[in-house]
Amino acid sequence: MSDIKKVVLAYSGGLDTSIILKWLQDTYGCEVVTFTADIGQGEEVEPARAKAEAMGVKEIYIEDLREEFARDYVFPMFRANTVYEGEYLLGTSIARPLIAKRLVEIAEETGADAIAHGATGKGNDQVRFELGAYALKPDIKVIAPWREWDLLSREKLMNYAREHDIPVDFAKAGKKSPYSMDANLLHISYEGGILEDPWAEPESDMWRWTVAPEQAPDQPSCLELDFRNGDIVAIDGQAMTPAQVMTHLNRVGGENGIGRDDIVENRYVGMKSRGCYETPAGTIMLKAHRAMESLTLDREVAHLKDELMPRYASLIYNGYWWSPERRMLQAMIDESQQTVNGSVRLKLYKGNVIVVGRKSETDSLFDERIATFEEDEGAYNQKDAEGFIKLNALRLRIAARKRK
């Protein structure tokens, strides 16, 4: 511990990280640098400055990373149509490599000896933060208080805060929140409370971003999304940055009850965990992107992408964003997106994302002359199908003769 003179702490200003800040000062006798990131969680981050100052912090980093998060992490992930275990759109997972990167960069800028985070010893986030940090700075020291201290209950945390005059809103903190929540531009997640019983239905007032589908408007909302190289660049003809795209789709999607999920997932540390998620923008983006690819991607390229996607999703979920294998897959995915250009028209209606049109002036592989059910004027010789079928059936016919 005597080797640690300065630590960069991922700091939200909430109860847990405020206690961690004081605990680091007392336990390690070190200077603490705080880092607070705005990645679209929907809450003001500037109040964290006053809280950190009140605890004697001299170096305070508060950064708006929404555009970087959307542009360099979320959008590349969605080029792969990434879904973990068939359901989870990886809202928490994809935020961790960015935070890890900035923790390491700030440690270098400030001459810090270590970084610290507030992830528990049961979850995935400790893995994601630390794998990212070690990949970017191999010799970095990591402090994870939840794996070291004995403050393993809310009562002990509150007592510690009182004993050390930690500036926490005790009136608010004294009421146990029924859920553990994490939010960013891509999603908001809910865990704990009654959700620890997989049979229990989530309470209707838990959801914050979306209306219930049955209470959504009776008229659909219509959108036209323009794609360039696999990324959405405009909505209804208005050019937007990645963060603006996601903000807009979160609002419209939430109004139409889009993006609720109730999932039991397999954590990397070995346990199953039940979580509920609201991912309006991500749900819309995934549906629209697949529609755009259906028109512009070669069949075998599309199928190969689908085969590799589960591996790519697991890499992100398990914290390997900065690994060489993820970078390799990303290069392949990005290359495939050079022709994913055009527009997709959608209807959002009571929890459903409905594709009602897609077009590409430059890269469509759809040939109406060949696909038509009407006379194709010789564009496709149907007699060719006979030989195609017989050649593909050859091994099946040989095997069937052998069985007889």
Residue 165 annotated to the active site: no
Give the separation between CA 131 and CA 148, rounded to whole angstroms. 19
Give the separation between CA 74 and CA 69, rounded to whole angstroms. 6
Catalytic-role residue among 72, 154, 180, 221? 180
Catalytic-role residue among 16, 113, 226, 231? 16
Catalytic-role residue among 66, 79, 96, 274? 96
70, 242 Cβ separation under 8 angstroms: yes
Longest dimension (CA), the chain: 86
Residue 16 annotated to the active site: yes
Residue 189 annotated to the active site: no
Give the separation between CA 51 and CA 111, rounded to whole angstroms. 23
Catalytic-role residue among 38, 79, 113, 125? 125
CB count, 10 Å around CB of 312?
Answer: 22
List, in sequence order, every residue forming a beta bridge with 142; answer none if it has no partner: 115
Q: What are the C-alpha distances in Å from 186 to residues 235, 279, 334, 354?
A: 17, 6, 20, 20
Nearest to 247 by CA among 290, 161, 186: 186
Residue 125 annotated to the active site: yes
Q: What are the C-alpha distances in Å from 280 to residues 91, 291, 335?
A: 11, 17, 27
Which residues are catalytically annotated? 16, 96, 125, 180
